[in-house]
Every structure is written in structure tokens, then in C-alpha cells.
Amino acid sequence: MKFQPTAEELGHAITHLDDERDDQNISLSKGSGSKWRSEHLEALRVAYLDNLALERLFPSQFIPSDHHQAYSELVRAIRAPSEDDLKGSVDLLDPYSDNRFFGLFSLISEAIATRPAHIPGTQGAMRNPSPESDLSSSSAEDKDEEASRQMFFGLFNPITASLKHKPMEYNSINYRIRPNVTSTDMKLQRGENTVTVRNDGGLYLIRSGQYTGSNRYGTVPLVSFEAKRRHAGNIRRPGGENEKYSATVLAQEVAELLAQAINHNEQLGKTNDQESFVISIHGAVLRLSAARFDAAYLSHVKSGLVPAEETAWVRRSSPFNLRERDGREGALKLCIGLLEYLRSGEAEVGLLQQIFKK
């Protein structure tokens, strides 16, 4: 959707604009978008807004009401365990084994656990005494983000199943939107320089193979997933605390947002206005980032020169802590609303524009 910041939002924006420069020449050096830093934000003239309500990221009419079929069906299920259940022993999750979000609950529990499970009397336990001991020497508080990555599937799979959307038909082929947590590499190219941008999966269009009937996933995500370590951007963060602003983390998300937009236009064979989305899970805290790039801006990015009058607004939602019942309910509204928007035909996302001929 088109975005215009309010006066209040302008007052809270974090800007990476250097209007004293003669130009904003972008150095898209060979390598990875994960290495982008604040200088890339400056070259791309990025302005950042944080802690926004969902209706500032996609149109409010798609945020589900209490009477929405899938939301009303799922909200009690996703709120079922308490935070103590998730932080406690594995046995505390047994009563939820029939819950359609049981896989998600198990992954949240794994992601927020800070200690390995050693048996008393073993060498592992001697090296890693109880949490109450001053001798506690290690924890997995900055563990690999695999549990966070798998949460995307545990969250979205029950939702897409419950929505019961009819497939989207194009050229007699039926397409659906489904989550996939396999990483995809996207390319940003300017001249001979190519940057590889890798996500942690995303929401993709799928169709059945013409002869085999097996699912065929698209190659360009409609929405990218990004799983982050607790101390992403080298900023120390205690468990349960929301991440602080990091230009490094923002730059990496901007790389994904831009790569999606440019790759969708390449699929269309032309340069259209595009909007992009990244859903991140930082430990067990979920957020949605969104950006809308007009065609002129995307052309400037590919040419390597962004004029001083251009600004790329990147918007980010308030955090939804999946440990907490209210956080999980908010994440449910976000996911359903975003899926409804993508399917509406109003989203400026290249492959969907082709299906809906926008």
C-alpha cells in the first residue's frame, strides 16, 4: 500500500540521509547482503519507523475481527499454554499435544531454554552447575537460530490450513500460498557486481506439478522469513527483552526487502512499484517489516545512483513476544491479515500482480 508518514511519525523516524552529498552512489560490492551496514542505508536513503500498528504496514480492512472464521477458530488454541508452561519442563506441554500449534509451542520452549539438559553426576553437569550457582559457566542463550526458523512453519502451517482459501487460478493453473523454511538466494545486480541476499525461507506461491502432482514452490518469496540470534547485530540482549535498534540488522533486512522487489520485477520483465515484507523472529519475538518502493526508486537503485529527493521508508511493527499469550494472539492477527492482503489482489507484489493482472 502507498505510505505517507504522519507528522508524529516523522518526529520519531530514524533517518539515514546525507543531503550534503552530491550523489548517493551505491557500492554494491560482490558478496552477501548480510554484510550490509549503515553506509548502505545512507546510500539507499533509508528512513526507518519502528513500533508501528499493523494498519500502518498493510490496509486495516485485512486485520481479522473477532468473527473472522480462521481467527475465531485458532485464537483459543494459540493462547492455550502460559509462559510458565513454555519455560517449564517438557512435561508441562503434554496437555497440549493435540493442539494444532503444539509444534510451535515446542519450538518456543526450545528457543527460550538457556541451559543444556545434563544428568546430575556426569561431567557435563559438573562443568555446568545449577542456574543458581555463581559457577554457572555456559548457556545456550545465543544458540543457533534453527528453532526460531522452524517457528515460522509451526505458526503459518496451521493458519494456511485453517483459512481454507480457494486456490488462485492463472492460465488454468491453481496457485496457493504456503510457508517454506528452506533458504532462498536472491540476486541484486548492478553492472558486473552481484550481491547475494539469502533469507531463512518465506511465504511462496506453490502449484501442483502437471504430471507428478507434487508441490512446486516458486523461486521468489512473497514474504521473506528472517531468524535472528538473540544478540543479533552484536547487541547483548537478556532473554525476553525486545531487541534494540541496530543499523546492521536493519541494513540486512533492507537488502532482503530490496532483493524481493527487484526479483519480482525481473519476473514481470518490467519495473513496477513494488512492496516487500520480511517477518523476523528474534529469539521468540516476532515482527513484520514492510517497504514500498516506487518504480523510479528501483530504477535508481539498479543504476547505482539514488537522487537526494528520494527516500525509502522502511516500517516495522510492534514486537509480538511468542512466550506470552497476548503476543501469540497478536502474531496470529498479523499472519492472517497479511495472508488476506496478499490474496486480495491489492498487494503490489510482482507475481501476484501477474496473477491478478494489476
Instruction: Tell me how far apart the alpha carbons of residues 215 and 82 are, in angstroms, rounded to a whole number.
Output: 36
User: Does residue 141 belong to any structural domain of this protein?
Assistant: no
Report pLDDT for 259.
95
Domain for residue 108, yes or no? Answer: no
Alpha carbons 145 and 138: distance in angstroms, whole number:
17
Quote the pTM value: 0.88
Q: How far apart are CA 52 and CA 128, in angstroms?
A: 41
At 184-220, the pLDDT tens digits run: 999 987 656 788 999 999 999 998 765 545 678 889 9
The angle at the Cα of 63, spanning 59 to 65, to the nearest 5 degrees, equals 140
Number of domains in the chain: 1
Which pLDDT band, with edges at 50, 70 and 90, does 112 fall under?
confident
Alpha carbons 18 and 24: distance in angstroms, whole number: 8
Is residue 96 in a domain? no
232-286 pLDDT per residue, tens? 544 545 555 667 889 999 999 999 999 999 999 999 999 999 999 999 999 899 9
Q: Is residue 142 part of a domain?
A: no
Which pLDDT tens digit goes with each residue over 21-67?
544 455 555 568 888 999 889 989 999 999 999 999 999 999 999 99
- Give the domain extent around 349: 13-79+166-356
Angle between helices 146-163 and 102-112 (to 10 degrees): 160
Domain membership flag for residue 97: no
Among 306, 300, 302, 291, smallest CA distance to 349 is for 291
Residue 291 lies in a domain: yes
Residue 109 lies in a domain: no
pLDDT tens digits for range 277-333: 999 999 899 999 999 999 999 999 888 788 889 999 999 999 999 999 999 999 999
